Amino acid sequence: MDVLSLKRYVDARARHADARRLEELLDRIIPQPALHARFVNTLARMEYVGVRKMLKSRRAERIDLDGLQHLLDEAVHALRLKKAATALSAASTAGLGVATFSDADTLAGDAGEAYFQALDRRAEAALAAFDGAERAEANYLLTSAAIEVRAQAFYPIYEQRLRAHAAPFSVSAITKDEDRHLEEMSQRLGVVLGQERRGLEAVLAEEEALYAQFLSAAEAEVGASETDEQRRAAEG
């Protein structure tokens, strides 16, 4: 499994109809700071869940320098996004606040976490041939590969829409880290998965379906907030 093979999946996702769907959704979210704050808080929550999964699944004897760096990078992503969400929320008058990662403080935050948990379970099922500590490590690599592929399809589109709307922050530093993570996962997966490479195809296909569900949940929440907005405007 070479580096190029995971990049190929990133390119396929960039051409997928869901890329256009994401752009349309972002163009509805970004102009509304209170809504945008909750969306950025959802991204922060997902980065945080990624850190928590790494801490739980990786044994000390497997953690090397890259492993520690990966943990820290994802924690920094969570922190940066949280700070951006907090600033957006403070600047808006309609915000409910983004103090926690609760569903109310996020935009489809529970759906975002459900995406992550479901992906983890699918990876677990695909790795039935592994046992004990090997399985936890293989799960980390497989789940991370799917997430990094998504991150590399998602963040560049998000950055492009942020610039188009002249938003007050950037996610380009996050994209650089995720690019490095993707390369690491590409290299390690080949070694660990061996004959189980088909598991990667299955998990990536599942990821696409789970991501579409998350987008649907976010679209529904944005639609509901727009309806509320219209009702308030009509009443006011």
Task: Determine, following the binding rule CB under 5 A, whether residue 77 of this chain makes contact with Fe ion.
Answer: yes
Could you tell me which stretch among 30-38, 104-112, 124-132, 177-185 binds Fe ion (CB under 5 A)? 177-185
Task: Determine, following the binding rule CB under 5 A, whether residue 184 of this chain makes contact with Fe ion.
Answer: no
C-alpha closest to that of 109 among 39, 189, 192, 8? 39
Query: Nearer Cβ to Fe ion, position 95 or 120?
Result: 120
In the complex, the smallest distance separating the C-beta of residue 226 from Fe ion, rounded to whole angstroms, is 29
Tokens of 156: 């560049």
Please list the alpha-helical segments (H only) found in 30-131.
Answer: 33-57, 65-91, 109-126
CA separation for the pair 149, 151 (Å, rounded): 5
Task: Determine, following the binding rule CB under 5 A, whether residue 188 of this chain makes contact with Fe ion.
Answer: no
> According to CB under 5 A, which one of 161, 181, 188, 217 is a site residue for Fe ion?
181
CA separation for the pair 135, 197 (Å, rounded): 14
> According to CB under 5 A, which one of 74, 105, 120, 184 is a site residue for Fe ion?
74
Backbone angles phi, psi at 106, to 5 degrees: -120, 170
Query: Nearer Cβ to Fe ion, position 69 or 213?
Result: 69
In the complex, the smallest distance separating the C-beta of residue 83 from Fe ion, rounded to whole angstroms, is 15
Residues 20-59 that bind Fe ion (CB under 5 A): 47
Query: Nearer Cβ to Fe ion, position 127 or 149?
Result: 149
Task: Determine, following the binding rule CB under 5 A, whether residue 18 of this chain makes contact with Fe ion.
Answer: no
Query: Is 183:3 a contact under the CB 8 Å cutoff?
Result: yes
Q: Let me know how many helices (H) and strands (E) the chain has, helices first.
A: 8, 0
CA separation for the pair 175, 151 (Å, rounded): 8
Q: Strand, coil or helix: what is 222? A: helix
Could you tell me which stretch among 9-17, 69-77, 91-99, 209-217 binds Fe ion (CB under 5 A)? 69-77
How many residues belong to the site for Fe ion (CB under 5 A)?
A: 5
Name the site residues for Fe ion (rule: CB under 5 A): 47, 74, 77, 178, 181
